[in-house]
Amino acid sequence: MDDSTSPPNMHAASAQPGPLSGLLVVALEQAVAVPYCTSRLADAGARVVKVERPEGDFARRYDHYVHGESSYFVWINRGKESITLDLRDGADAALLHAMVARADVFIQNLAPGAASRLGFDSELLRQRHPRLITCDLSGYGEEGPLREMKAYDLLVQAESGLVSVNGAPGEWGRIGISLCDINAGMNALIGIQQALLQRARTGHGSGVKVSLFSTAAELMSVPLLQTVCGGEPPQRVGLRHPTIAPYGAFSCADGRDIVISIQNEREWRFFCAVFMDAASMADDQRFCTLPDRLKNRAELDARVQERFSSLAHGQAIDLLIAANTAFASVNSVSDLARHSQLHTWPMPVHGATVRMPAPPYTTEWDRGAFAPVPAVNQHGAALRAEFGEVVV
């Protein structure tokens, strides 16, 4: 995903200022969830000041794959300003208070209770600055017996039951991305944007609180309802669907795998007639309805696999398209890097250019390129000069 070409001028490439231009976001942030949220605020034009501990955000050291930078850090810290502060030092704490006094949004994800102990309790900040929007992101929320526990993505995957519905039978498996962190950051983004709209109507700020566990629990709504109301938890079925068939992965003659999905009886009939070349199969009493197909899934999957085994990957795709069957090839990360549908933007990193996946939404204020990530304390001197004489 590297490209030696220089990125275009970002301001020249932008059609118009982002909708959050003019807003100041002060982020006492680390790791993934809050940096994910604030990177999206920065993408929309907000000025984001990233406050780091003196040694820097520990996510900077997760790896060094991107021209010496951490993959995680490059992904979710673009377009921010960095300052390092020791909040146990009175002068540094006063400087952060000065920033917050002029901020529109203050967001933090320190360890449970740490921000309050350092003098940055969100409720007290809003009392002092009525237009301020605060966002606190925690592992388990501020109530309940686990409220003091540290929480990282994999721990919450386990605690919430996410791993119990992930993967195939056998050894437990981690979901391969930081799913809880990402979705918690997205929930924080939604809450902050709603709070900004509310402030535009009322003139008053408000508090947003997000937890990783509540985020994961909401993602688990369907398995939870199936278990509580249906009396039986969904099983781990690998690349199959627990309640729809045929819906899963099948191997072609050349070893490539394809996932197919049949969602209704019309699709089933087309699939049987065109792909399976066996129109009568649609009326087979073992397979003619979804409940029948689920009950006889082993026989059904065996029949479908037999057909796939007679076809090369390209042949199978041609027939699936002709049958109007939904499908996807099972690709590797290397396949994604070469994928014809992958849209990327350039990002400068230490004099080189990295191609990053473009935002998943397109807007009139797209810049067509990502701003760089800041070095540790890159903007410290300028920020101290700007905010150092503000009286709180």
> Strand pairing partners for 267?
none
Q: Round to whole Å and give the CA distance between 259 and 357.
A: 24
How far, CA to CA in Å, does 12 sit from each of 15, 18, 356, 368, 374?
Answer: 8, 13, 19, 10, 21
Return the H-helix or E-strand segment holding 250: strand 247-251
The answer to whether the beta carbons of residues 44 and 19 sit under 8 Å apart is yes
Return the H-helix or E-strand segment holding 179: helix 179-202
Q: What are the phi and psi torsion angles at 137 (to 5°)?
A: -115, 125
Nearest Cα to 359, choosing from 372, 349, 368? 368
Which residues have C-beta within 8 Å of that of residue 145, sequence separation ≥ 6?
Answer: none
Which residue among 11, 67, 129, 241 is the active-site one?
A: 241
Known active-site residue 339: no
Q: From the CB of residue 86, how many other CB atoms can be counted at a distance below 10 Å?
A: 11
Which residues have C-beta within 8 Å of that of residue 310, sequence separation ≥ 6?
Answer: 253
DSSP for 291-354?
A: HHHHHTHHHHHHHHHHHHHTS-HHHHHHHHHHTT-EEEE---HHHHHT-TT--EEEEEETTEEE
102 conformational bin, left if phi > 0, alpha if psi -120 to 50, beta if neither: alpha
User: CA torsion angle for 364, 370, 373, 378 (degrees, to 10)?
Assistant: -70
Residues recognised as catalytic: 241
